[in-house]
Structure 1
Amino acid sequence: MKKNGLTSAVIAGIAGVAGFGSIADAVNLNPDGLGQVLIYPYYTTQSGNDTLISVVNTSDVAKAVKVRFLEGRNSREVLDFHLYLSRFDVWTAGIFSIPEGALGYPGAGVYTRDRSCTVPDIVTATPDGDMIGQIGDVTYATFVNYAYAHLDHSAAAADLLSSVERTREGYIEMIEMANIIGAGATWVTHGATGVPTNCAAARAAWDTGGWPPALQENPTGQGELFGNAMIVNAARGTVVGYAADAIEGFNYSADLHQAPGNVEPNLNDVNDLGMAFQATANVFEFGRLISATYDLTTGVGFPKVDAISALYATPHVINEYYLDGNETIQGTSEWVVTFPTKRFYVDDNPFVDASGNTQPSYSPNAPIAPFANTFWNNGACESVQITVYDREERTERRNNFSPPRPGGSALCWEAQVVTFNQSGDSSNILGSTYFQNIATPFSAGWARISFGNSSATVPRMRAARDGEVFRGLPVTGFFVANYDNGVNDSGVLANYTSLFRHRTMRDCVDEDTGQATCS
C-alpha cells in the first residue's frame, strides 16, 4: 500500500527527479480551482431562476471540451456538445426555462451569444423544432429526454418520469478532451471581429472523416480550466454564485476527442500517465497523503471512476443554516446535495440513443458499493442520519426529514435540495422539486447529514488495488441562504442572498490491516 506522509506531497512537486511519478501523476481535487474536469454541482430553471455559467481557458493552447448537462433525478444526460476554446478564451451561457416542452411539460435549454466555436452550432443554427429553438433573435439548444424517456418505470409514473420537466434542474460536467494545435487552433481562434476565423471548418472536419490527428495533441494532465456559475432570479432580485469543482490530473495521455454526438468521454475515462487501464487518486486525510489506485481488477462496471469518487467520498456533509425572522425579515436556507458519480453505481438501465444505438447501462451488476440501491421510480435512496445544532450547542439528534419517510430518512436523487422548515411542492429559493425538509425549532445554527443508518453502517467504497477503502459517499454541493426584508422605506425590494460550499472530511480504512486510517 502506498502510504505517504505530508512530506510526500512536497516531494511530489519534484516527482520526476525523486522517483515519485506515481504520486504526481494522479487525479486530485485542486483547491486552487484549476482542472481538466469541471463539476458544477447544480443548475436550476425552477421558480423563476436562471443559471448562468462560464468556463475559462487560462492556457496559451486551444482546448476541445465536452460540455454535458445531466438531469437531477438520475443523472441522465439531457444535452452535450463540443466546445472549442481558443487560447485565453472565455465561454458563457445561460440555462433557462422553456414553458412548453414534450407532453406539455415545461422543460429547459441553454442559450448563448458567445461566439466561441461549438459543434454542433448553437448561436447561428436554424431552428428545427427539435433540438434548436429560437426566442426573438436568440437561438438555443433544447434539453431532451432521449436518455430516459423509455426506461422501464411503472406505467403510473411513466408520464412524469419520461417528460422533459426532469431537465429543469440538475448539474453540469465539462471534460477536457484534447489540445488543439496547428490549423485547428487557427480555426477556433477569434479574429478582429470577435468571431472564430473558421468554425465552419472545425464542424466540417467531423463530417469528412473526423478531426485530423495532426491538429490535436493529447492532454498533459495539467489543470488549466476554471468555471463559475450564478443562479439568478430577476423577479426576486437575487443572485448567488459559486466556483465549479476542479479535477486536475484527469487525463495524461489518452485521446478523448471523439465525434460530436458520442456520449463519451465520461468520468470513467480518468487515467494515470502511460496507464490507460488504471487511475490513481491523491486524497488528503488529516494532512496525510493517500494514493489509491483503481484498475480493471478492482471491480465490475466502471472501476476507474472510483478514483473520482475517492476525491469526494465523505461520511458527513456539514454546513450552517439561517432561519432568523420576525414580522418583516425572514430567513430561508437550502442545501444542495449532489452525487457526481452516483450514476456509475446505481443505474442498470440501458437505453437507445437518437441514432438507434443501444447504450450500455453504467452498472450492469447494480447496485455497486458505496451505493446501496438501484435507481427506480422513487430514486436510489441512501439512508442518512441528521443532527441539528443551534448556535449555543443545543442539539436535536437524528432529526428526521419531514414528513417522515417509511424506513427512515434518505436522500434518493443525484442532485437534490435539503430545506429547513419549509413545505409545499418546491423549495423556496432554488425551486427544487427534489427536496427533503428538516424541521427544527432552532432559528440558526449548523447541521450534519451523515450517511448510513448508524456509525457502524457508514457506506464503504470498493477497496483500491492496495486495500484503501474510503468510507462515505461521493458528494458535493453548497448552502444557499436568503433574507427577505420586504420593501424598505424607499420602496425598494430588499433581498440578501449568499452561498457557501459544504464542509466535508475524509475517512479511509486499511482493508488489509484493519487499521482505522490508511496513512
Structure 2
Amino acid sequence: MQKTMMKSLTMAVGIALGGLGVLPSAQAVYVSANNLGQALIFPYYTVRGGWMTLFGVTNTSALTVAVKVRFREAYNSRDVFDFNIILSPYDVWTGWVADAGDRPALFSEDKSCTVGAMSPNGIPFTDGLNTYTGTAADGGPTTPDRMKEGYVEMIMMGAANVVTPAGTPDLTPLARGAIHVNGVPTNCQALIDAFTNYNQLGTAGMAPTAGFLRGEFQFYGVDPTSNRSLNPLKGTFALVNGAKGLNAVGLPVHLEGYAWRADRDVLDPGIFMTSQLPKDEAGGKYYDSYNEPSLGSRYQDSVSGYLQVHRNYNELIFGQRPIPAVAFSHNTAGAVRTTGALEAVGLLNEWSRRTNAAAGWVTATDWVITFPTKHFFVDNDPDNEYAGRNSFRGNAVAAPGLTADDLTPFSQSFVDTAASPVVRRGKSCDSVSYQLRNREEQRSTTSLFSPSGSSQMCYEANVLTFNKGAILESPIAQSINYPENFTFGWLNVRFSGANAANMGLPAVGFGITSRDDGSSTLLSEAGLYNHTIVRPAL
C-alpha cells in the first residue's frame, strides 16, 4: 500500500509540476497534456487509394529550432525518407505526401529552410528502397510500394538563441540564416552547407561557438529566454482524399522531456544535432550521421547508462527500482524511456459500419495502431545501419541472437541475423484479445480477424478495418468480422502477450470513420478520433 501511494504521489507531483511549467524530472519522458513537445509522433501516413497526408509543425518559441523529420514504413520502421527543417522563431512548415506512381513523393510550397530542398512538384522517395532490400532485406516486401504507408517522427535536434546583446559577438550566424525577410530565409544555404559538411558539426558539449552546428544550437531542455521547460513544437496532420471528398484532421503525440542534455544523449556520447550525411561521410560515426536522432536517442541520466527492460516500465519511469548495469546500451535504454511513456495495455474507440444507403448514409471505420519503438527490440541485424538494433548504434545482440528478455515487451523478432538459422520472417506478431460491442451493450461472440483468422498485430503500423470497410485501402489491413446486425458500437483491444498484458506495448493511433449518402454527393465526410489509451496499473 505504501509503495502504491508513493508511486501515485510521484506521478501527481510530476503532473503538477508539468502544469506549472516547472522543469520536470530529467528521468522521464512524458506524453504532453497540452500538445507541445520536443518529439512528435504522427501515427500514420498513406498515399494509397487516392489519399494524401498533410503535415504541419509550428515553432512556438523565440528560438531557432532544428528538427529531424523521418518517414518510417509500416512493416518494420525502416527509414524511407528523412530531412531537416530549421524553423526560425514562430515559424511554421507544411508539406504533404502523395502517390507518385510506384512510390510516395513529398511536396511543399513552404519557404522555411530545409536540408534537403523541397519542391511543389514533389521529391520521390527514391533512396528509401535501400533500407529494406539487398543486404538490408528483412523478409518483408522489397518493392517501392512498401513505402506507401507508415508513420512519421519529428525530433528537435537543438535550439539556438539568435538574440545577440549589444556589444557582444554574434555566436549564431548559421541559425540567424533561417530567419525570414520578406517571407524568405536570409541565408538558408549556409545552413545547408553546414549540415552537409562534417567539419561544421562540432563536438559534443562544445562551448558556444559561431559557425558550428553544435556550437550554435545549444539549448535542449530549458528555454534560455524564460528558464522554463523547452517544448517548442506543435504538430498537426490531415488525411485527405479529394476524389471521395474526405478530410480528417488529427494531432500527433507530443513528447516532453525527450531532449534534455547537450553532452549526454545518443552514443559516444554524441548529441541530437547530427549531420545530414551517411555514416561513411559523417566522420565514420553512426551517431553523427542522418540515422540519428531517433526515438531511441533519448538522454540517459544513470551512471551506468543502462536500463533493464524486462520489468514494469512504471518502476523505471518513477524511480522505484535501481537501474542495474545489464546488457542494454544507451540507445536501447533510450528506447525503453520512450516506450515507457507510450505504454498501453489496451485501446478503446468507436466504430461504425452501415452499408444500406437507404437507412440514411453509408458508414465505414478503420483503425490505425502503431508501435513506434518496436524496431529497437525486434529488428536485430548487427551489420545493417538501417536496422533498429545494429552494432553502429551499440544495441545489437550477438549470436545466438535475441532472447525473450531482449524482445520484451514484444514477443517475436522481425529479423535476427545473429540467430542460427538466420531469421527474416517479414513480420513480428503480438497477440491481442478484444471485446466488440454494439451500442446496445451486446457483445459479438463470433467476430474473427481476417485474413489471418487469429488475433494478432504483426507490423509497426497496423490497420484494422471493420467488416471490410477498407477506408484506407491498406494491403496490410486485417478485417474484424461480426454479425451483420451490428452496425455501430465500440471496441476494446487488449495486448495479451505474456509480457504486454501487464507491461503494455508502446501504442499510438486513431480511428477514422467516413459517412456518405450513397449515390448523391450531398454528404461526404470523415472524422478522426484518437484512441483512448488504457495504461498499466501503477
TM range (shorter): 0.7 to 0.9
Matched residue, 2:184: 195
Matched residue, 1:373: 412
**1:229-244 counterparts in 2 under 5 A?**
229-244=237-252
Partner Cα separation in structure 1 for residue 514 and residue 80 of structure 2: 30
Out of 410, 425, 437, the position equivalent to 2:479 is 437
1:161 correspondence with 2:141: yes
CA root-mean-square deviation: 3.2
Q: Conserved in 2, the CA contact under 8 Å of 1:416 and 1:432?
A: no
Amino acid at match of 2:116: P
Partner Cα separation in structure 2 for residue 298 and residue 280 of structure 1: 6
Partner Cα separation in structure 1 for residue 460 and residue 255 of structure 2: 19
Partner SS state of residue 92, structure 1: strand
Residues 318-327 or 63-72, more deviating: 318-327
Q: Conserved in 1, the CA contact under 8 Å of 2:357 and 2:518?
A: no
**1:359-438 counterparts in 2 under 5 A?**
363-364=396-397, 365-366=401-402, 368-375=407-414, 376-397=424-445, 399-405=447-453, 408-422=454-468, 428-438=470-480
Partner Cα separation in structure 2 for residue 191 and residue 294 of structure 1: 52
1:347 correspondence with 2:379: yes
1:300 correspondence with 2:328: yes
Out of 255, 259, 278, the position equivalent to 2:275 is 259
Partner Cα separation in structure 2 for residue 207 and residue 400 of structure 1: 51
Partner SS state of residue 304, structure 1: helix
Partner Cα separation in structure 2 for residue 400 and residue 475 of structure 1: 22
Matched residue, 2:175: 185
Amino acid at match of 1:236: K
Amino acid at match of 1:186: R
Residues 41-50 or 138-147, more deviating: 138-147
Partner Cα separation in structure 2 for residue 4 and residue 90 of structure 1: 39
**1:502-517 counterparts in 2 under 5 A?**
502-508=531-537
Q: Deviations over 1:286-309 (max 9, x none)?
A: xxx945679673553612211111
Amino acid at match of 2:274: Q
Q: Deviations over 1:404-429 (max 9, x none)?
A: 43xx321101101101111xxxx621
Partner Cα separation in structure 2 for residue 494 and residue 284 of structure 1: 46
1:113 correspondence with 2:128: no
Q: Deviations over 1:196-219 (max 9, x none)?
A: 000011112234522414322131
Q: Conserved in 2, the CA contact under 8 Å of 1:295 and 1:303?
A: no
Deviation at 1:122, TM superposition (A): 2.4
Question: Closer, same or farther in 2 for the Cα pair 1:296/1:82, shift >3 Å?
Answer: farther
Partner SS state of residue 60, structure 1: coil
Deviation at 1:495, TM superposition (A): 1.2
Q: Conserved in 1, the CA contact under 8 Å of 2:31 and 2:253?
A: yes
TM-score computed with the length of structure 1 as normaliser: 0.80
Q: Deviations over 1:482-505 (max 9, x none)?
A: 1121244xxx35212111001121
Q: Conserved in 2, the CA contact under 8 Å of 1:295 and 1:304?
A: no
Partner Cα separation in structure 2 for residue 42 and residue 140 of structure 1: 19
Out of 505, 514, 518, the position equivalent to 1:482 is 514
Partner Cα separation in structure 2 for residue 471 and residue 6 of structure 1: 20
Partner Cα separation in structure 2 for residue 291 and residue 21 of structure 1: 17
- Kindly tell me the number of residue pairs found equivalent between the two proteins: 455
Matched residue, 1:449: 493
Structure 1, unpaired ranges of 5+:
100-105, 124-136, 461-469, 509-517
Partner SS state of residue 429, structure 1: coil
Partner SS state of residue 172, structure 1: strand
Matched residue, 1:206: 195
Matched residue, 1:146: 130
Out of 105, 109, 118, the position equivalent to 1:122 is 118
Partner Cα separation in structure 2 for residue 446 and residue 481 of structure 1: 12
Out of 357, 364, 369, the position equivalent to 1:332 is 364
Partner Cα separation in structure 2 for residue 314 and residue 390 of structure 1: 23
Partner SS state of residue 113, structure 1: coil
Matched residue, 1:219: 220
